[in-house]
């Protein structure tokens, strides 16, 4: 039986094994992502393998194993290259393109699908022109995942005084059969897409077929800021045509990508807040900072700007442009 200080080396050894465990599991999961192995399967392999290493190898040998696996994962990470030439899911198959002629914004490949369910839809990729002088404002759309107030999808919608909106959703661009996961996003697997389209499509899909809560918060911003932001985003969209980029779980996700564009235009950038990491609370952050165009307190504003309970079908969604009837 071990006594006194004899326990110390044992605890130290166990501590080192445990310290090596976490980065090794992450590295194995990354390698699994490169090979198309699901996260759970890779994690089980990593834990099982690490138990065997701890049982049959010395601490020095285990350290070499961990280092080797880590180096393979790092090499695999930097070997990944984004591309536009893949077998894409049809709903993200087309990349938008913009041309600016004077004060007219000409857009190609805007998505305006007619959704019958999340799996059944009529593909419609449209062209449209927008008079930038008629741009009146921009709204932040927050779509929480489930009932928890943590994770959410964030979009923008640009309003024009002719009753039209141009919606933007920064998303992953999955190949057919590929599904998004946090580790895949961290391991340079899905590409990034700026998906522009109609509210009838981008919001209607989430309200009528995914059953999401949807909040639409009008920013306290003038038409000039909205115009600069839209042009900034369009420039990045056109740049993405020539320079494909990976979606990244933290650095290039739906919220941080949009925040990056907003901060490029602000004298005082919006810093990193907990609500950026947990964007279901983004509306609360914008309200606290005074960026939502309302005099309501947060509790009332959250109810007031929830839109999924106020529209009944796709025709209602098409008429959502008449904002005054919704507020």
DSSP 43-96: HHHHHHHHHHHHHHS-HHHHHHHHHHHHHHHHHHHHH----S-S-B-GGG-S--
Tally the residues of the chain: 327
The tens digit of pLDDT for each residue in 39-70 reads 889 999 999 998 898 888 888 898 999 999 99
Would you kindly state where each structural domain of the chain is located, as residue ranges? 4-79, 90-326
Share of the chain above pLDDT 90, in %: 60
What are 134-160's pLDDT values in tens digits? 999 999 999 999 888 889 999 999 999
Judged on CB neighbours under 10 Å (0-12, 13-18, 19+), 222 is exposed
- How many other C-beta atoms can be found within 10 angstroms of the C-beta atom of residue 34? 18
**pLDDT (tens digit, 9 = 90+) per residue, 67-126?**
999 999 999 999 999 999 999 999 999 999 999 999 999 999 999 999 999 999 999 999
Within 10 angstroms of residue 37's Cβ, the number of other Cβ atoms is 15
Task: Please tell me the predicted confidence (pLDDT) of residue 12.
Answer: 78
The answer for residues whose C-beta is within 8 angstroms of residue 306's C-beta and 6 or more apart is 213, 214, 215
- Are 204 and 115 spatial neighbours (Cβ–Cβ below 8 Å)? yes
SS3 content of the chain, % helix, strand, coil (to 5): 50, 20, 30
């Amino acid at each position: 039986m071990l006594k006194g200080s004899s326990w110390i080396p044992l605890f130290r050894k166990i501590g080192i094994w445990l310290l090596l465990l976490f980065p090794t599991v992450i590295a194995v999961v990354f390698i699994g992502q490169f090979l198309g192995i699901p996260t759970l399967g890779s994690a089980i392999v990593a834990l099982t393998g690490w138990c065997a290493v701890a049982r049959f190898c010395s601490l020095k040998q285990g350290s070499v194993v961990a280092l080797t696996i880590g180096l393979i994962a790092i090499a695999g990470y930097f070997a990944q290259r984004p591309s536009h030439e893949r077998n894409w899911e049809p709903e993200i198959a087309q990349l938008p393109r913009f041309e600016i002629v004077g004060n007219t914004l000409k857009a190609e490949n805007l998505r305006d699908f007619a959704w019958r369910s999340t799996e059944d839809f009529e593909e419609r990729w449209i062209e449209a022109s927008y008079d930038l002088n008629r741009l009146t404002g921009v709204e932040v759309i927050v779509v929480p995942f489930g009932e928890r107030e943590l994770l959410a999808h964030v979009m923008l919608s640009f309003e024009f005084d002719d009753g039209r909106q141009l919606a933007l959703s920064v998303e992953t661009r999955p190949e057919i059969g590929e599904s998004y996961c946090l580790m895949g996003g961290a391991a340079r697997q899905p590409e990034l897409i700026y998906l522009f389209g109609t509210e009838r499509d981008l919001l209607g899909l989430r309200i009528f077929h995914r059953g999401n809560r949807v909040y639409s918060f009008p920013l306290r911003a003038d038409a000039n800021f909205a115009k600069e932001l839209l042009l900034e985003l369009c420039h990045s969209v056109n740049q993405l045509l020539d320079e494909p980029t990976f979606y990244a779980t933290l650095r290039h996700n739906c919220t941080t990508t949009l925040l990056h564009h907003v901060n490029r235009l602000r004298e005082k950038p919006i810093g990193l807040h907990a609500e950026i990491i947990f964007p279901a609370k983004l509306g609360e952050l914008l309200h606290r900072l005074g960026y939502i165009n309302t005099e309501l307190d947060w509790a009332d504003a959250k109810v007031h700007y929830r839109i999924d309970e106020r529209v009944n079908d796709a025709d209602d969604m098409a008429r959502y442009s008449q904002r005054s009837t919704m507020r």
